Amino acid sequence: MKLKTLFIPMDAYGHVNSCIGLAKQLIKYDHEIIFIVPTNWTKAVEGHGFTIKTVSLEGYEANVDPQSGFSHFMEDKEKLYNMEPIEQFEVLNVNIHDAFLRYLEQTDDQYEQLISQIKPYLIIYDFWVTVPAILKSGIPYILLWSCSPTLPYWKVNGPPYSSGLGISDAPEKLKKYRDDMNSLLKDKKSKFYDYYQSRGIDISKVTFLDFTMLNESPYLSVYSYPEDLDYSEYGPVPDKWFRLDHIVRLSDPATPLGIDATFFQTKDKVILFTLGSLGTSNYNLITRLVNFLEKSKHKYIVSTGVHHDKIKLHANMCGSQYLNQMAIMPRVDMVIHHGGNNSLVETLYFGKPFIVMPLFGDQHDNARRVVDKKIGKWLHPFRVSEDELLKTIDEVLSDEEMHERVKLISLKMQNTKSHQIFNEKIIKIVKEHTKQ
C-alpha cells in the first residue's frame, strides 16, 4: 500500500519548488503524492504525477500569473532592496504578515475540508505561519523549512534569520538583532494569536519558532542544506529536526529549456544570471546589472521574470521569463544568483562556482555563509560597481581551490543517503500515530 502524503506549500515559487523537489524524492519510496495549492498554481505543479487539489481566493484565480503576486508587492517596495537587513525586516517581513493573515482567513476552512476528504497518512507543509487546519486535523505533520537553517538553530543562539550575521559576530550583536525582530512583530503576533484562538488553537501548547508565528512540528521538522555548510559550530542538528542534503528537483526532459540550445555552442564561458522570481520584479536593478554584464567577455543566460518584455538583453546574452534552471545549470560554467536556498543548494549540487547577490531574507544569511565557508563570493547588487562585478566574475572562474571545495560538496550531495533515512523516519511516525 502506498503511503498517502499531502503537501501544502505557501504561494511562492521557492516554497512550491521545494515541496516538488521533496515530493519527487519520496515518490521513489512508494509515496502517493497529493498537493493542495491555490488555483493559479496548478500549472506550476503539473507534470510530476501528483494529484492536485486547489483552494480558491481573491487574486489567485486561474488566469492570474503566480509570478505577479509577491512580485508586484516587492516592486512597490523597490527602495527596501538597498536597506540594511533589519530595516528590510521592518518594511518587508513585518508588513507581509498582513497578507499571510488574509490568506489564512480565506483558505483555512478549505484546507480543513480537503484534508478531511483526502485523509492522508502524513502532511508536509512549507509555510511562513502556522496553518490551523493542519494542527486540528489530528494527522501527523512535518514542517518543511525551505529557507536557510538559521531558524532551526535559534535555541542555541545561532545567527538570527535574515541578519547576515555569522560565527565571528559577538553574541550581544546576535541577541540585539533577535530582540529587535521580536519587538517589530509584537503587534502582528497579537493579531495572529487572536486568530489562532478563534480557530480553536491553544497557543499555550504550540512552540513557535523564534520570532515567528510558525510552529515547529511535535513530530519532526526538516530542512535542506549541505552538511558542509550546516551550522554545526553551534551544536548538533536540533532536537526533532532532520537535515536533508538537498531537495533538488532535477530536470524533466519534457520541460522546455526556455532558450535556444545553440547558445551553448561556444568556446566562451557561459554564466547563468538569476535573481529569482522576486528579484526580477525590480526592473531597474536587473537593467543596471545586465548593462554591466554587457561589458563582460563571457556569455550570459538571464532570467528576465515578470518584466521580460521590458528588459533589453545584449549581444552576449539570451534569456526568458521562465528558464528551465534544472536543465540549464548543469551546462553552464558559473552561476550568479540571489542566494535563495533553492538556488544555492542547486548550484552546489551541480558543482558550479558562483557569486551571491543577496536581496532580502535568508539570502543575506546564505551570502554570509558561503563566504565564511570559502566556497563563493558575495556582492551587494545595488552597490557593486561595473569594474568590481566583472573583476569578481573572473576571479571566481579562475579560483581552482574554491572550485575543488564546491566539487567535493557536490559529490557528497549527489551520493547522499539522507532521503532514505528521512523516509524511514516518516514510516516510523506514521506507524506510531496509527497505533494510537
pLDDT reading at 79 higher than 90: no
The per-residue pLDDT for 77 is: 61
Structural domains for the chain: 3-243+417-435 (3.40.50.2000), 261-414 (3.40.50.2000)
Mean pLDDT of the chain: 93
The per-residue pLDDT for 78 is: 64
pLDDT in tens, 256-273: 899 999 999 999 999 999
How many Å apart are CA 280 and CA 91, to the nearest integer? 19
Non-local (6+) Cβ contacts of 45 within 8 A are 16, 20, 35, 37, 52
If pLDDT is split at 50, 70 and 90, which confidence band does 81 have? confident
pLDDT in tens, 315-348: 999 999 889 999 999 999 999 999 999 999 999 9
Non-local (6+) Cβ contacts of 248 within 8 A are 21, 326, 345, 346, 349, 413
pLDDT reading at 71 higher than 60: no
If pLDDT is split at 50, 70 and 90, which confidence band does 168 have? very high
The per-residue pLDDT for 383 is: 93
> Which of helix, strand or coil describes residue 325?
helix
pLDDT in tens, 107-165: 999 999 999 999 999 999 999 999 999 999 999 999 999 999 999 999 999 999 999 99
If pLDDT is split at 50, 70 and 90, which confidence band does 175 have? very high
DSSP state for residue 91 in the 8-state scheme:
I
pLDDT reading at 362 higher than 80: yes
Contact 133, 123 (CB under 8 A): no
Among all chains, which residue has been given the C-alpha cell 544555492? 344
Length of the chain counted residue by residue? 436
> Sign (positive/negative) of CA torsion 368, 370, 373, 376?
negative
If pLDDT is split at 50, 70 and 90, which confidence band does 68 have? low
pLDDT reading at 245 higher than 80: yes
What's this model's pTM, rounded to 2 decimal places?
0.95
pLDDT in tens, 230-243: 999 999 999 999 99
pLDDT reading at 277 higher than 90: no
pLDDT in tens, 375-434: 999 999 999 999 999 999 999 999 999 999 999 999 999 999 999 999 999 999 999 998
